[in-house]
Amino acid sequence: MARQLDYHSMREIFARFQAAEPEPKGELEHVNAYTLVVAVALSAQATDVGVNRATRDLFKIADTPGKMLALGEEGLIQHIKTIGLYRNKAKNVIKLSRILVDDYGGEVPNSRAALESLPGVGRKTANVVLNIWWHYPSQAVDTHIFRVGNRSGICPGRDVVAVERAIEDHVPVDFQNHAHHWLILHGRYTCKARKPACGACLIRDICLFEDKTL
C-alpha cells in the first residue's frame, strides 16, 4: 500500500483526468433512478457490458417498480439469466421493487441509509445511485478503485470504506463529483490488475506504484 499523496499531487492528477475526460459517465445503461438501482444491483460480479445486454430489452417493458412486479420473478429471470447469480439477483429485484411500491410510493429514496435498506443494495450501489442520479459527491469504491488507490497513493486504505474516506478527505472538492468515475475508468483501461499500461498512463510521473511497466 502506497503512502497518501499530498494536496498538490492530487490536484495535478485530477486536473489531468479532467482534461482528458471532462464529463466521465457511468457505463451502465438506465432510463431513470429505478433502472439505475436495478442495473447496479445486477452488476455485482458481472461486467457492465453483460448487464447492459441483459437489461436493454428488460427496461423497455419494466422501467418502474410496478411494472417489474407485474413481470414477476420468473419473467425477470428470462431477461437476466446470462448474468452471474441471476436467481438471487432476481429475488432481490422483486423484493426491492415491492418495498419501493409499498413504502416509497414507487419512488427511489435518495438517502444512503434508505437505499442500503433495500435487498441487494449495498454501500457501493447506494453511492453510485446518489452520484449518478442526484449528482451527490459520493464515492463508490469497487475493485478498480481499490487497486488504483493503493497502488498510486491517490486513496490508499485497507478496506473499501477507508479508501472511500481517503477520496473524500484528499480529493479537492471541485473534482469530487467525477472522482470515482475517473478512477474506475483509469483502473479498467489503464491501471489494469495484471498488465497495467504504465507507458500510456497520464499520471505515471506522480504515481507511487513501485512496479511500473514500460
Cell 497513493 -> residue: 153
C-alpha cell at 148: 488504483
d(CA 211, CA 58): 44
d(CA 132, CA 177): 9
142 an active-site residue? yes
Q: Which of 81, 95, 124, 192 is catalytic?
A: 124
All residues at 6 or more sequence positions from 209 whose CB lies less than 8 Å from its CB, including other chains: 2, 151, 152, 191, 196, 198
Closest CA to 41 of 73, 83, 75: 83
C-alpha cell at 140: 463508490
Q: Which of 103, 142, 169, 195 is catalytic?
A: 142
d(CA 106, CA 98): 9
124 an active-site residue? yes
d(CA 186, CA 162): 20
d(CA 88, CA 77): 10
Q: List the catalytic residues.
A: 124, 142
